[in-house]
Amino acid sequence: MPPKRKASSILSSSPKKRLAAGKPEISSKETQSTTTHITTGAAHQTRSANHPTPKVQRTYGKRHNIERTATVLENSVAGQKDDVLSDVNLEPELSTHSPEKARKHRANALSSPKRRSKRVTNVSSPARRTCVFVEIPPLPQRKRISPSLPPTDDTPRLSSSPKTTADVVGTLHYNEPIFSKHLPPRFHPCLDAQKNAILRNLRDISKLFDEDEPPSSDTTSRKQLADLLVGTISRSEGNSCLLLGPRGSGKSKILDSCIKSLPEPPIIIRLSGWIHKNDRLAMREIAYQLGQQTGQSFSQPDEGDIYDEQNGNPFLDRPNSETIQIGMELPPSSHLPALISVIPTLSRPTIIILDAFDLFALHPRQALLYCLLDTVQGCRTSMSNKGLAVVGLTSRIDAINLLEKRVKSRFSGRVIRTTVTPTIQQWLALTRRALCPQKSTLQQDEDVLKEWDSAWDTRVSALLGDRAVVDVIKETIGFAKDSSLLFRILTNTVIQLSTHSPFPSSAALLQAVSSQRCRPLLYEVLDLPYPVLCLAIAAVHSMTSGHEFFTFEMLFSTFRDQFRASMAAPVHVDGGSIGMVRCSKSILLNAFEHLVSCRIFVPATALTGATAREFARYSTVLGRDEVRRIVEKTGQTMLKKWLSKAE
């Protein structure tokens, strides 16, 4: 691809960027390992209070020396010219992007009208069963979103007036530079504010999407849903629909934004299949939420009826007096139709949201769904009645097929689909937006803030222009098109920021990926104590000899034999014995129980009181290869030899 090659050749002009992008694989690997060291050190530091270990300090120094000397080199050798150059470099990069975009856009323009018209007919057709499947069309809007230039208000300043940025960067040389070895103290509040803003941003995922022009598939489904709800609100229709889409594709987000934009506030009842495991629980919650939103006057007599009924019936078992006092007794299921049919007669229209819709379909006889959908269907448009909308959210594709026939026939069959953000450009733009949030105003010097903002933006642009980073993000969305995964990675990256490394780096991002996406096997990371290792090796021996299940006594006798064998031929190196260390039975038993509590050893049979703990049978979850890697990491020769006997 010509634009990419061009970009990399431009990058290679500045020495620091070459360091970052020129040989991404090697450098990232190296830096990754060093950073792991450093974070370890950091963790230790925080734990052991105010005694930082000298070793850790040294690694800090080393790594930063490398990075910072690169920066200093860049600054001193190239000087201001280089800064201007790099800023100018941003421009051609942009311009190379835009023709390509234009070309694509033209291609889209050719194909899109047809598709759009189709969609329009689909939407406007009054057929009851309208299943609108929106595929991911190439977006005309995408032109505005480019990886290096999302429409935040900071960036135009950066790109449109390169001179001012150059000036700002230029002033950095005179004063204490922001890219110096440690962050100058005056920027510390900025860093903290930035971190907090980003973390808050990453929590409120919906905000991130809203800022953006939403992808067109979302627009369609949003419009459909909004039309539906508006119909319910303003024309008192009874409506039902299903929002279908994979996890993290923004079902709840679309729904919430639609509800927010409604002309008058409806009664909203939120139910979740995860906690309303049966209809009676759901009914009670409906009654409660109705009571909350309409005022006591309505729901109280209704609930009073329930209790009267139950008080009159001496055969109903009562949970206990306490719950009755709280008024939390479950209503009888016979009350269900009465409760649901009351809903359209309320003073305001109602929207019932069923999260995890598929789980409601698993309730016996689907009574709740039947009642709800029956009421929806029978909802007559008149002045006395208000509308009722039932919106189900699910990620299960065959959710409709779960419905019984009588329920299905009352369901309108509208399925609105949501899809995830389709292209890498949009993901990059999303990342960009996540990392450059709108900050709350600080009690800070205006200049300092400006300087910080521009520095931050430059660094984020550099980060997102890095080939390695783009690859990683590509990989991540190839792994799971789930924005929460990306956001977890970003959260980790941001949390690693400190005054020592105040800007996000590709190395930090890669490390975040390893800790959040494809996690390494936990026990390879930890160094396990000696008795635990011995037991793990003994368990491998037991498996090798064909006994999948073992007791502690078996492991212990294996260990004891090995220990005796190693004592019989003591090996001394430099005056110290490198034989196996003695380990008493009780200590090993202790280690054994630790492994059991960690679920590394899993009980093979149900434990009874009659079996002594030494003789309970277990199996191990650690395979031979895993144990070998763990043992090799510890570097104990005797253990390695012992393990190798099992192969």
Site for other proteins in 365-424 (CB under 8 A): none
CB 236 → other proteins: shortest distance, Å? Answer: 27
CB of 534 closer than 8 Å to CB of 583? yes
Interacting residue with other proteins among 48, 98, 161, 234 (CB under 8 A): 48
Interacting residue with other proteins among 103, 223, 247, 564 (CB under 8 A): 247
Interacting residue with other proteins among 115, 157, 195, 629 (CB under 8 A): 195
CB of 144 closer than 8 Å to CB of 426? no
Q: Is 589 near other proteins (CB under 8 A)? A: yes
CB 275 → other proteins: shortest distance, Å? Answer: 4
Considering only residues 504 through 563, tell me which ones interact with other proteins, judged by CB under 8 A: 515-516, 519, 522-523, 525-531, 545-547, 551, 553-554, 557
Report residue 569: phi and psi, to 5°: -125, 75
Considering only residues 89 through 128, tell me which ones interact with other proteins, judged by CB under 8 A: none
Binding range to other proteins, per CB under 8 A, among 25-33, 331-339, 443-451, 607-615? 607-615
Alpha-carbon span 61 to 311, nearest angstrom: 76
Alpha-carbon span 602 to 545, nearest angstrom: 19
Amino acid at 56: V
Q: Is 316 near other proteins (CB under 8 A)? A: no
Q: Which is nearer to other proteins, 141 or 278 (CB)?
A: 278
Q: Is 80 near other proteins (CB under 8 A)? A: no
Q: Is 611 near other proteins (CB under 8 A)? A: yes
Q: Is 324 near other proteins (CB under 8 A)? A: no
What token pair was written down for 190? Answer: 């900025």
Q: Would you tell me the crossing angle of helices 483-495 and 506-516 to the nearest 10 degrees?
A: 120
CB 436 → other proteins: shortest distance, Å? Answer: 17
Q: Is 322 near other proteins (CB under 8 A)? A: yes
Interacting residue with other proteins among 12, 33, 40, 577 (CB under 8 A): 40
Q: Is 614 near other proteins (CB under 8 A)? A: yes
Considering only residues 452 through 511, tell me which ones interact with other proteins, judged by CB under 8 A: 484-485, 488, 491-492, 495
- Burial label, 394 (beta-carbon count in 10 A; 0-12, 13-18, 19+): buried
Alpha-carbon span 369 to 404, nearest angstrom: 10
Q: Name which of 402, 327, 406 is nearest 371 in CA terms.
A: 406
Interacting residue with other proteins among 73, 120, 587, 607 (CB under 8 A): 587
CB 281 → other proteins: shortest distance, Å? Answer: 6
Q: Is 234 near other proteins (CB under 8 A)? A: no
Cα separation values, 98 from 145, 194, 235, 302, 444, Å: 10, 30, 46, 64, 37
Alpha-carbon span 420 to 251, nearest angstrom: 10
Q: Is 607 near other proteins (CB under 8 A)? A: no
CB 200 → other proteins: shortest distance, Å? Answer: 6
- Burial label, 142 (beta-carbon count in 10 A; 0-12, 13-18, 19+): buried
CB 431 → other proteins: shortest distance, Å? Answer: 17
Considering only residues 342 through 361, tell me which ones interact with other proteins, judged by CB under 8 A: none
Alpha-carbon span 393 to 402, nearest angstrom: 14
Q: What is the dihedral of CA 417, 421, 422, 423, to 10 degrees?
A: 170
Q: Is 46 near other proteins (CB under 8 A)? A: yes
CB 530 → other proteins: shortest distance, Å? Answer: 4
Alpha-carbon span 124 to 541, nearest angstrom: 70
DSSP, collapsed to helix, strand or coil, labels residue 176 as coil
Q: Which is nearer to other proteins, 158 or 622 (CB)?
A: 622
Size of the site for other proteins (CB under 8 A): 75
